[in-house]
Amino acid sequence: MSLSVALRQTIWERAGNCCEYCQMPQDYDPATFEVDHIVPGKMGGESVEENLALACFKCNNHKGPNIAGIDPVDGSKAFLFDPRNDNWSQHFIWDGPLLLGLTSKGRTTVALLQINVGHRVSHRRQLITEGVFPLSKKS
């Protein structure tokens, strides 16, 4: 599915050039971020602003075609965080370089997208030391 240059630009700008899942800014990640279909095309998700999010390569790669997963705490099924319909701060909180899920949806997303694997935590710890992450919340 190819997206127009204008639509891509809209998605990047709306996200402030940060991953809408793990909040990593593109400026501090060597892998180019991607426009994610929140609901994949194969499931009927359309290439429209309401179904698109900016995701870092790692989050997008692990998310793949999934829209749901298993909560690692209680084993229940849960939908993944939806950047268009869910409020980030309601589902996640930073504990230093670790991203904690506050809800079943948050925990499931952290687990499936492997947001707390070692090299990603080390990378964030480095950026915290440099004082450039996490970015202060926009409004």
Name the site residues for Zn ion (rule: CB under 5 A).
Answer: 19, 21-22, 56, 59
Instruction: Look at residues 29, 55, 17, 28 and name the one whose alpha carbon lies nearest to residue 132.
Output: 28
Least separation in angstroms between CB 3 and Zn ion = 19
As separate numbers, helices (DSSP H) first and strands (DSSP E) second, the chain gives 5, 6
Cβ-based nearer residue to Zn ion, 16 or 76: 16
Closest to Zn ion by CB, 76 or 117? 117
Please, what is the minimum distance in Å from the beta carbon of residue 136 to Zn ion? 18
| Shortest distance, position 52 Cβ to Zn ion, whole Å | 15
State which residue, 44 or 137, has the beta carbon closest to Zn ion: 137
Question: Quick one: 21 or 92, whose CB is closer to Zn ion?
Answer: 21
In whole angstroms, what is the distance from residue 107 CA to residue 34 CA?
22
Instruction: Give the span between the Cα atoms of 7 and 69, in whole angstroms.
Output: 29
Minimum CB–partner distance for residue 24 and Zn ion (Å): 5
How many Cα neighbours within 13 Å face the side chain of 92?
24
Asked if residue 109 lies in contact with residue 21, where contact means CB atoms within 8 angstroms, the answer is yes
